[in-house]
A and B are shown apart, each in its own frame.
Chain A
Amino acid sequence: MRISKEKCVGCANCVPICTVGAIYIDEDGLANINADECVECHNCYRSLSFEHLPPSFTRTIRRLLKKISLRFQPDPDICPTEALVPEDLEWPRIVRRAFSDPMVTHESTGVHGRGTEEVKTNDVSHRIKKGEVGLVVEFGRPGIGVFFREVQKATRVMATAGARFEEGNPVTKMMTNPATGDIQEDVLNEKVLSCIVEITTTIQDLVHTLTIIKEVCKASETVVSIGVSTVCEEDGSEPLRDILTQEGYETGWAKLNLGLGRATNASFTNMENL
């Protein structure tokens, strides 16, 4: 993303909109983007409304009003001159957008948003099985962002501790060796708004795995959001909540997969008819 110097009038509405604080007002009084910090989420371009005012005229009005201590200020969600310009992104910078723009579908998994279905389609995919626990460790969330070199520090520690990374996950797909947690070198200096590392473990090993993740989090320079999931028993109960409560976690908010999904693609129904 870039901001057109020809169009920007320096109203600064885009500054707080930026998800990672990468937009600032430069010494020339116009908005600029710190390209190293920008995660290419396209939030500024997509969600600001555009008013299409003539830039020169608007700048003049702003200058005149300023002389009498008044200010022309559009509504906080409007860019008055449509100054935001999306750019064609090439590898590896395009990785930023794939992980940060929720409207982009990850090529590696075919899933938009963060690129993983995790437990939300588990009633059809069964990627987490009974007795297993899925951990979603999201680096950079909420609202701070993370470079992949930072993520690699964590995945290396997790791998050394024997973590089993979920195969259908975009971060795992970028690993050169899931056994070591190494991530391909050309993306290490790319920053994303957040990315999810997914691990599968067993109920028995959960406390041990959480201890490792806690250590990883302590060493992290960014924030980390953690989610844990498991499959319910026939009566709907599950052992996870008691374990988490014993470990001192609050378990008020959760996501429940109601189990109403089923495989309906032709390939499955044809097999049933065989």
Chain B
Amino acid sequence: MTNTLHRFGKPETLSDDYIVFAMAGKGFNEEGALEKAQAFLRAAIKYNPINMGNGLINSLYRPEKNLSFFKLYFIGRQEKITYEKLIDEIPNSGSAAAVFDDRKKVTQFIQDVKKLDLGLSINVSALVDNVRDICGEVDITPHAVEYTLGFHGDTTRLPDRETLSLSTMCGHGMVSANFAKKMLTHVKEGRMDPEDATRTMAKFCVCGVFNTTRAMRILSNAKKGQ
């Protein structure tokens, strides 16, 4: 889940971005981890995460491999599955992630996860001061912290800020900069709604850590020329 460490954006644009994930350590606690990862995700449902995933099976947002002319133009696309279906599909533990856009909800969820005492490693990627405040509220002393130091090297090869803000929400790079740029252009030109463009991009982030609320805001601002 280094894939959640390098999200690009000013702090004020990241305040509604919380990724909570559970992971088993190979050789330490992977036995029975599948059921625990499922319990973790089931606990998240109560707080309506905006996205979730497992990394081995894709996220809530899915490509459709069996589209037909009839399905496409008469029935309509089914681009999102239910929480329950995703949880039932997990083949083995890998990792499990839930994304929230609300501090209160994420606090309550972490409180519940603590009570569940799953024994899996639980990590939160977000603005560090917010997570530390949450830890204080739910009486958790963090074990370790990892900071991003940002992007280095030949940064002239990177795209513009708006594009990078969208593409880095899939840390595995599956939302390519060219595609994020295409979605921004489509929205600015009025060829797509921000909601449609967000859903379309979310399907490419297989781990389910793409924050759809933040993406929608970036695209809506772009639509207004901001």
Contact = CB atoms under 8 A, between A and B. Distances in A.
Contacts of B123: 120, 255-258
B148 to A, nearest CB: 5
Nearest to B125: A255
A116 B1 CA distance: 9
A113 B177 CA distance: 19
A34 to B, nearest CB: 14
Given A16-B182, A264-B119, A102 B207 contact: yes
Contact of A229 (B68, B146, B164, B200): B146
A44 B180 CA distance: 14
A247 B179 CA distance: 35
Given A17-B204, A19-B174, A264-B31, A224 B121 contact: no
B144 A257 contact: yes
A155 to B, nearest CB: 15
A41 B142 CA distance: 34
Interface string B183-199: 10010000010000000
Contact of B6 (A134, A222, A227): A227
A256 B121 CA distance: 10
Given A16-B178, A109-B26, A225 B141 contact: no
Q: Of A18, A78, A254, which is in contact with the most chain B CB atoms at under 10 Å from its CB?
A: A254
Contact of A261 (B119, B125, B150, B183): B119
B165 to A, nearest CB: 11
A175 interface: no
Interface in B128-153: 128-129, 131-132, 135, 140-153
B225 interface: no
Nearest to B181: A16
Q: For chain B, which range describes its interface: under 10, 10 to 19, 20 to 34, or 35 or more residues?
A: 35 or more
A259 interface: yes
A120 B120 CA distance: 10
A251 B65 CA distance: 41
B55 A112 contact: yes
Nearest to B29: A264
Contact of B176 (A43, A49, A111, A114): A43
Given A16-B178, A124-B25, A51 B121 contact: no
A101 B206 CA distance: 10
Given A16-B178, A124-B25, A142-B167, A52 B122 contact: no
Interface in A49-77: 49-53, 75-77
Interface string A231-263: 110111010110010000111111111111111
B135 A236 contact: yes
A259 B140 contact: yes
A161 B68 CA distance: 58
A134 B145 CA distance: 10
Contacts of A223: 151-155, 157-158
B110 interface: yes
Interface in B24-61: 24-32, 55-56
Nearest to A253: B148
B198 to A, nearest CB: 12
Contact of B148 (A51, A117, A227, A241): A227
Contacts of A252: 11, 14, 127-129
B161 interface: no
Contacts of A114: 2-3, 172
27 contacts: A16-B176, A49-B63, A52-B67, A102-B174, A103-B55, A112-B94, A113-B207, A118-B2, A120-B21, A120-B146, A121-B23, A124-B29, A128-B144, A143-B173, A221-B153, A222-B153, A230-B145, A253-B7, A253-B125, A255-B5, A255-B146, A256-B146, A258-B142, A259-B141, A260-B117, A260-B119, A262-B29
Q: Which 9 A-B pairs have the closest CB atoms?
A: A259-B143, A261-B121, A121-B25, A229-B146, A16-B178, A217-B152, A220-B153, A254-B128, A224-B153
